[in-house]
Chain A
Amino acid sequence: MNNVSVALRGLVLGTLLSTTAIAACAQSEAQQFPVATKTLKNGMKVLVQTDHSIPNVALYIFYRIGSRNEHPGTTGLSHFFEHMMFNGAKKYGPGDLDKAMEANGASNNAYTTQNVTVYQDWFPRSALNLIFDIEADRIQNLSFDAKKIASEREVVASERRTSVDANNGGILDEQLKATAFIAHPYQWPVVGWMSDIEHWTMDDLKHHFEMGYAPNNATMVVVGDVTPEEIFQLCEKYIEPIPQHAPPPPVTTVEPEQMGERRLIVHKQAELPLLMIGYHVPQTNSPDFYALNILRTVLVQGESSRMYQRLVDKDQIALEVTASQGPAFDPTLTIFAAQPKQGVDPQKCENAIYDELDKIKKTPISDVELEKAKNIRLVEFYHQMRTINGRGNTIGTYEVFFGDYHKLFDAATNYGAVTKEDVQRVAQKYFAANNRTVATLIPDNGEQGSAKQ
């Protein structure tokens, strides 16, 4: 198949007319930012959005492989592999990739999540050919140099020491997930357990590459000073000849229903305690996604939010309170985190969080709160759309996690349709005691070194 979908189509589908001002506003914005798409013969889908406001380009490649595709013993392999994708292929040997990019005005990065591995290139349009040459080289001809693997292993160990050992939030988040999931691979950290970082083998790496890095397992998004035609031509030249092969086997493990609260404590040398509470919630493409986002907005976004008002402003028991939920293919967690003030028992923060959840379960939020949350979501849309980088990441995330980038432009309509009763219903359905895992970090500053014994 070689489907060039109607290029430069307007994104207002017309079938989802909404009477709300919000939706009308966002849809007219969508018309300003049309996306052209094409699926290459090898199965890679390419999305292009033109924007000549700066002479630069943001190029994203999303591979549908992340830590959920790993197994005990090789946790962290996806993330390690992400690092190896910069360490040499056939044409661009170790170190050549970064040197060539930077000498041509380009920079790069990449990130790995439980679900995806994402490569990012930011460059002046003069570097277009080079970037495609590099991406094609590493997708098909990655090299596995034993010396590079050994040194990159140390780099990743250092990354783990920084993001986990030296970060109380990192430690507690890791422990929370390891407890909240007993079956599903979301239980292990994306960066991997330290002993796995130390032990995975060359064969593990090669297997991972063969499994995850098929062009048919990837989506490319290009935004900036380009035309769809030139990007599709570059894809035909550089990417289309790469043969497709089997994508990773499906993750079939389903986390069994949690049937009671789980609690864990981390004792560690620290100035302040920390609290995290995770509730199982459905995956991103669930119909409840929008109501859950509205609920989180009402609870924690801005200084007028319920939990900020309660924990930080009124009771003055926390420095901050947040709620997060990342994009996920499988049922995931909404995690509340509170930083208790010194001398405050984290239990007090915990009780206040439950109390605020209970209020919404009992009485629907107000009309003003609902409208506020929808307004905040609309502004967020414009925030994402104001840079070529933000658009690259957002268009790709919608395409990959919802299966259709149009959902980005439908979001205002979908948020507009959420009612107070929907918000109450998801609060009741997902934020129950039996469905939660509570993680508390308790400072242990006894005799010197006792925390480590």
Chain B
Amino acid sequence: MNPERKALRFVVGAVLVLGFAWTSRAQTLKLPPHEKIVLKNGLTVLLMEKHGVPIVDIAVIVKSGSVADPAGEEGLASVTAGLLHKGTAKRSAQQFAADLDFIGAEFSADASADYTTISSEFLTKDVDKGVDLFSDAVLHPVFAQGEVEKLLAQEIDGIKAAKDEAQSVALNYYYGYLFNKHAYGRPVGGDELSLARIKRDAIAKFYETNYTPGNTILAVAGEFNAAQMRAKLEQALGGWKAKPSLLPALIGPTAVKGKKLLLVDKPDSTQTFFVFGNIGTAENDPDRVAIRVVNTIFGGRFTSELNEALRVESGLTYGAEAFFDSRKEPGAFAIYSFTKNESTTQAIDLALQVLAKLHKDGVTPEQLASAKAYLKGQFPPSIETSGQLARTIAAHEFYGLDDDEINQMEARIDAVTPAMAKQVIAKHFPEENLVFMLIGKASEIGPGVRKYATQQDSRKISEPGFWPGAK
């Protein structure tokens, strides 16, 4: 273990799907050229040549995530993704792993709330083998009963292992409690109870319904010739049979009114991990750039107001942050930190004061200028690799965002005014209505935290599941 100055805290998938490529020495960042093709079977293909390192990256979005899980079978999308490479029509799970590892390639598939991501990466010299392995897993998984049982048992134990590390499950509890009955509150990976209910037939059915070419975006970036790559992909994926897809529209969640607090008891805790906030914004929110600038000042970097108050000035914590986990529909806004048991209320009080100060005083012109420089200075490395680029263009396609999301980003950041910042704070940062979730030693911190909300809920971390939600 190598202690670092700053923690790598939550890795929230969609928070910063931005990034910029450099095409000239002028102050304009542009996405490298790429093309979009829709195959006859409805599959959307995005191709981007990116030269420099002999690697090819594939990023696929299947437009069905945990939101498509049936109630009570949370984790179905996640398990389906996890089984794609565990045996295909022509390869056993062992053979697939052997073929993949022999060329040092990577294959991974994970569900998120809105969609399932499948990624693969291999050296350019291995492109034929890489495309073959990738398409084999996506088009021809067999979901053998033995592999299904194996993975489900592992996933259930994986949740228990995660509960031994409070910070790794904090968002599961928070999202369950915040979104409550809305589908965004479901644990993406399922829980100890829901996973035990999942049967092989449900997985096969989920795959048949959702893994269709018309429901899929495939982005490829890296060292290759686009015309040749297109031909390879048409050959490998053109035979994927088209099917009508019936995706039910998701209605966005509504903000929680009033205050409520969930205390998750972990009796051996020496620290309290706390998250609070409310419903945030959608990925395509028209205010998204101004929100990003303001949140950089409030809780999105080391010198943010939150980290200055809770860490730098008071030493209450190793880190404090705020983030918008934006999704297709409004996701969560969250303030997150942790502190030793004795200073639990002191730290939460301070975080609330910082939030109140944001509403009262807004941001200064100096802070605005600094945040703009910070965002512009930090984003080029976020689309430096072909993997980052493939994921970025696939996500843009999914969210209905165009290249201006990147090509105009600097101009849009520069255009954020103090008036816009003020408006964004009033509209998007909660003030009075707050949902709190704490993991800690209830016997020690319970009495002190009662003051934060009239509605109080509690559970033990050893209890299966996170929050009943839709069940």
Contact = CB atoms under 8 A, between A and B. Distances in A.
Interface of A: 25, 29, 52-56, 79, 82-83, 86, 95, 98-99, 102-113, 122-124, 126-127, 150-159, 161-163, 165-168, 170, 173, 189-191, 268-272, 301-305, 308-309, 312-313, 316, 319, 326, 339, 341-342, 368, 371-372, 375-380, 382, 385-389, 445, 448-449, 451-452
Contact of B101 (A53, A110, A304): A304
Contacts, number: 227
A271 B94 contact: no
A83 B271 contact: no
Contact of B123 (A189, A271, A371, A379): A379
Contacts of B398: none
Interface of B is mostly: mixed
A83 B165 CA distance: 24
B366 to A, nearest CB: 8
A232 B96 CA distance: 50
B5 A162 contact: no
14 contacts: A53-B52, A56-B380, A157-B340, A159-B3, A166-B273, A269-B267, A272-B160, A272-B164, A316-B150, A319-B154, A319-B161, A379-B103, A380-B104, A386-B386
A54 B21 contact: yes
Contact of B315 (A25, A127, A153, A445): A153
Given A153-B315, A305-B101, 14 more contacts: A54-B380, A107-B374, A107-B378, A110-B4, A126-B377, A154-B315, A154-B316, A156-B318, A168-B164, A302-B101, A375-B103, A386-B386, A389-B381, A452-B268
B41 interface: no
Contacts of B4: 109-112
Closest 4 CB pairs of A and B: A105-B377, A154-B315, A379-B104, A151-B315
A237 to B, nearest CB: 23
Given A98-B303, A191-B1, A376-B101, A167 B165 contact: yes
Contacts of B370: 99, 102-103
Contacts of B104: 372, 375-380
A371 B54 CA distance: 19
Contacts of A150: 315
A158 B317 contact: yes
B52 A173 contact: no
B226 interface: no
Contacts of A55: 22, 25, 380
Interface string B326-339: 00000000000011
A326 B1 CA distance: 9
Contacts of B269: 165-166
A370 to B, nearest CB: 11
Interface stretch (B70-78, B136-144, B306-314): B306-314
B302 interface: yes
A70 to B, nearest CB: 13
Interface string B99-141: 0111111000000000000000011010000000000000000
Q: Which has the most chain B C-beta neighbours within 10 Å: A79, A166, A312?
A: A166
B20 to A, nearest CB: 8
A313 B94 contact: yes
A171 B365 CA distance: 46
Nearest to B150: A316
A109 B5 contact: yes
A315 B150 CA distance: 10
Contact of B303 (A102, A153, A389): A102
Contacts of B235: none
A126 B22 CA distance: 14
B157 interface: yes
Nearest to B55: A382
A107 B308 CA distance: 15
A155 B384 CA distance: 33
B271 A158 contact: yes
A372 B380 contact: no
B315 A303 contact: no
B318 A162 contact: yes
Interface string B39-69: 0000000000000111100000000000000
A144 to B, nearest CB: 16
B243 interface: no
A423 B105 CA distance: 23
